[in-house]
Structure 1
């Protein structure tokens, strides 16, 4: 039988200003990580020219980052409990900033890949540990409002990445997509030291090395498999081999976790209904985070012939909807409750994703902007509610394990969304006998993603009527 889990350190009293500042600090780290994971794609042609290789080969700079993130996300909860969340958060921000400098200074593709691996490892620790600090320090009555703020950078990053990357590559050089992290990182280090109190762990758990190895191989294999399945780069044999390896290590990890004293990914958390439903339903909704920008970029640039910068400016309007949501998300959830909001809003968000499939070359820009603006509002409302509900019934000692579990699942969910969209495009193109994507292929992509988001309503319908009641109650 597993030993008792380590206790979280008792946090000092939190001032009202800290309650406002901590979500902002964690949000900045989340924005930096989300922006960096998407901005590189726009710069690949310019980077390939500098390094004397092909754009396809340069994709390794993206996959190396994603692989490092997938491998190290599960260990973030253990690191926070072992060394203290504030210490790990500071170290992760510092490493992310230094590795960004190393990326910009890289003279060869090998150096760039090594720097991206370090950057991915830092990002994997930075965001989940920042969320642990927020969960431990923010009172539950204020958690819904904090999550509403934290949702904005999560949605801003994938949307703002393409136009920012296009602007910097067009008017400066690709190096600046990494150098822009320096001022944000330095500001983050200052603000963490200024506003977040040091925490001293009550216990120092050992690293579950067997679990770490099994979960790392499983995540790396599945992420590589999803990437290969989406773009057809490895062929059927190696892709199926990676899938089998990932699933086998996943099954072995499940067996191992039942008896581990402090498992890297604590599967016992799934016995808590609000956590289990939020992870499953939330990840179905997160298909849209990765898939929508990907499909819109193809539709607007390849289908409609817009420049990368023009297309990015149109897709950016969904971020404006996310920011508008911040003003009303908390009153909406408090008025109608988590279950009703999540079920109904999942269907509304899915409808606006499906509406993107109706875009044509002659569709007025204002109409596309309106759909993306309102769709961004409802999608952001969904993530605000689900992110808060995930931790509604957990105590302080469970927060670090829950954060690393949820972050691991989110990483898979976003990657599954991109892979699902890419596979749908490839399948549709194969049926048409063409090698170039057309509007009809993107339509099918949006339709599949919309159905996936709508299916999340079935998961949210399993919630009890009073789910998350403590988060809706004011002190």
Structure 2
């Protein structure tokens, strides 16, 4: 069962990033600008973010087995729809459907493994569930680039079909778990207000164009988003069974992770979206070459993993976040000077180090998140943090696309200058996270990171 769920995780994580090297080909095929295809990635991530809080209710109401099986079926059918999309709106709709399946597949599958594993096997089961998150981002850029170069971008989605069919049949045999005896009510009002507000904000964001922007549409979308999100917050604070429990933000560690950590994730997630576009549209590389180069980013992410925990134990979370934040800002400045004349090995080294810094930052924030959260608040805090991080990833790609489209006519010097300016703006946003880091106590998260607390820091 753990292997089956790990395979489903792998498919879900792979699909979130494999599309990026094929964006220019998708844009040409569907008759749109490459930067506009970002909405297909954003829609997927945002759908997952909005629906993750509802998966707990679905599991209690219908049971682990039917929900997980339905998730694989929905994800597989949506992949087929993506492959045969004839327009960008159709592709976005199918990606939203994929996001519905992905939102159910990931947390429900993890719950199935943890609930039905013996304690003696739980560590091994968790290890099996961890490798997709490490391996999929490394494989996705190269695989997506290879498929787009050798065949068609549509095969990126068709590869899910045999995997999904096999997974569906295995799930029928292996997954178990019925509904709970007393399922809590689903907060429909909270989900509709929150989802509607986020959707309106993204529509407003996507409506901004280089020329011919419908500012009335942008203003209307922004106003609707503000109203719905305010109503959602008021409702979530008052209802007895909220979709997301906002009261857990009273814990400082979680609050900083949700604010500064989300901004950090938003900025960092934009990089794997921007680089394949830059390498193909500015450098003139093939999707395969661009995908292989972007893979260096995730290789750095993967290889530094064993060192992240010792770093936090030795220096503490605050120092790690502070030094990593400063280096990350400087590294964005290096990304801004990338140009076709640089040696391939130097570009690879820059991306490798960028990926290593990304990994250290993510790990430090994830470790800090629940440092002082206790009891039943752990479940609510985990749901809030997971949703916000997914949302930040989607918003990061949308913001990167907006920056590229708006900076292109402003900076001049061709499309390469727009990418350089975008990386510098993202560096400035990343620098904002250092403010919260400086406000952390020296011993922040020491209990969970294993840092030895010196007497003067207590």
Structures share a fold, TM > 0.5?
Answer: yes
Name the SS of the counterpart of 1:328 in structure 2: helix
Is 1:153 aligned to residue 133 of structure 2? Answer: yes
Name the stretch that deviates more: 343-352 or 241-250.
Answer: 343-352
Residue 220 of structure 1 aligns with which residue? Answer: 199
Q: Distance in 2 between matches of 1:49 and 1:426?
A: 17
CA displacement at 1:25 relative to structure 2 = 6.9
8 Å Cα contact 1:152/1:319 also seen in 2: no
Residue 436 of structure 2 aligns with which residue? Answer: 459
Is 1:305 aligned to residue 281 of structure 2? Answer: no
Q: Distance in 2 between matches of 1:190 and 1:196?
A: 10
Residue 12 of structure 1 aligns with which residue? Answer: none
CA displacement at 1:268 relative to structure 2 = 0.7
Residue 267 of structure 2 aligns with which residue? Answer: 288
Gaps of 5+ in 2: 452-458
Residue 444 of structure 1 aligns with which residue? Answer: 421
Indicate how the Cα distance of structure 1 residues 48 and 412 shifts in structure 2: closer, same or farther if over 3 A, else same: closer
Q: Distance in 1 between matches of 2:27 and 2:192?
A: 33
From 299, 304, 314, the counterpart of 1:320: 299
Cα deviation 1:367-393 (Å, max 9, x = unaligned): 111111112112111112212332343
Q: Please give the TM-score of this superposition, normalised by the length of structure 2.
A: 0.81
Q: Distance in 2 between matches of 1:150 and 1:257?
A: 32
CA displacement at 1:83 relative to structure 2 = 4.5
Residue 257 of structure 1 aligns with which residue? Answer: 236
Name the SS of the counterpart of 1:258 in structure 2: helix
Residue 378 of structure 1 aligns with which residue? Answer: 357
Q: Distance in 2 between matches of 1:77 and 1:272?
A: 22
8 Å Cα contact 1:151/1:384 also seen in 2: no
Indicate how the Cα distance of structure 1 residues 329 and 152 shifts in structure 2: closer, same or farther if over 3 A, else same: farther
Cα RMSD between the aligned structures?
Answer: 3.9
Q: Distance in 1 between matches of 2:419 and 2:377?
A: 41
Residue 3 of structure 1 aligns with which residue? Answer: none
Q: Distance in 1 between matches of 2:44 and 2:251?
A: 32
Indicate how the Cα distance of structure 1 residues 115 and 294 shifts in structure 2: closer, same or farther if over 3 A, else same: closer
Q: Distance in 2 between matches of 1:343 and 1:330?
A: 16
Name the SS of the counterpart of 2:18 in structure 1: helix
Cα deviation 1:283-310 (Å, max 9, x = unaligned): 1111234321233223322222222221
Count of aligned pairs between the two proteins: 445
Residue 372 of structure 2 aligns with which residue? Answer: 393
Cα deviation 1:204-255 (Å, max 9, x = unaligned): 1101111111111012112222333477785222122111111110101111
Residue 7 of structure 1 aligns with which residue? Answer: none
From 197, 203, 214, the counterpart of 1:235: 214
Indicate how the Cα distance of structure 1 residues 267 and 132 shifts in structure 2: closer, same or farther if over 3 A, else same: farther
Indicate how the Cα distance of structure 1 residues 170 and 275 shifts in structure 2: closer, same or farther if over 3 A, else same: same
Indicate how the Cα distance of structure 1 residues 258 and 243 shifts in structure 2: closer, same or farther if over 3 A, else same: same
Indicate how the Cα distance of structure 1 residues 82 and 273 shifts in structure 2: closer, same or farther if over 3 A, else same: farther
Indicate how the Cα distance of structure 1 residues 325 and 307 shifts in structure 2: closer, same or farther if over 3 A, else same: same
From 382, 389, 393, the counterpart of 1:410: 389
Residue 14 of structure 1 aligns with which residue? Answer: none
Residue 54 of structure 1 aligns with which residue? Answer: 31
Q: Distance in 2 between matches of 1:473 and 1:166?
A: 41
Q: Distance in 2 between matches of 1:148 and 1:343?
A: 32
Cα deviation 1:45-84 (Å, max 9, x = unaligned): 666777xx52359947556545643542342343345445
Residue 4 of structure 1 aligns with which residue? Answer: none
Name the stretch that deviates more: 224-233 or 106-115.
Answer: 106-115
CA displacement at 1:326 relative to structure 2 = 2.1
Q: Distance in 2 between matches of 1:382 and 1:285?
A: 8
